[in-house]
Amino acid sequence: MKIAVASDDELTIAEHFERAKGFVIVEIVNERTQGWKYREISSTGHSTRSKNIDNESDRIAQILAALKDCDIVISHRMEKRSCNDLKVAGIETYFTEEMHVATAINYYVAGILDNNTVLGCDHNNYLDG
């Protein structure tokens, strides 16, 4: 199983899934972490808050392509569209208040990571439960 955690710096969880500079990818084998890697996402079109649907669609497609081998995504906040796209791709989402990537991964493996689906954003298109 592979877990992807949205992160800008490989240490802390990014505030917004779509704006993350990349994702920490960790493989879990026999309840142990292996192969800690960082996959950077080169385009940051969404971070400009552009209302250009093509730019946003391209950004989401790029993220989905980068995460296609992952089973779980951990993030703070996420647009409803992204959540739906991940679900269609068979990728489960976790929304946490935890700030540190390593802690979130360890909590997930231990079965104690909070999955707070009511985490939201001031944008009305973000997941709100």
Q: Work out the pLDDT band at 106, boundaries 50, 70, 90.
A: very high
pLDDT of 129 reads: 44
pLDDT of residue 21: 95
pLDDT attached to residue 31: 86
CATH architecture of 2-110: 2-Layer Sandwich (3.30)
* Per-residue pLDDT tens over the stretch 9-63: 999 999 989 999 999 999 999 988 888 999 999 754 444 444 444 566 788 889 9
Mean of per-residue pLDDT scores for the chain? 84
Tens digit of each residue's pLDDT (9 = 90 or more) over 88-104: 999 999 999 999 999 99
- Who's near 113: CB < 8 A, 6+ residues apart? 74, 94, 96, 98, 104, 107
Rounded to 5 degrees, what angle do the CA atoms 112, 117, 118 make?
A: 125
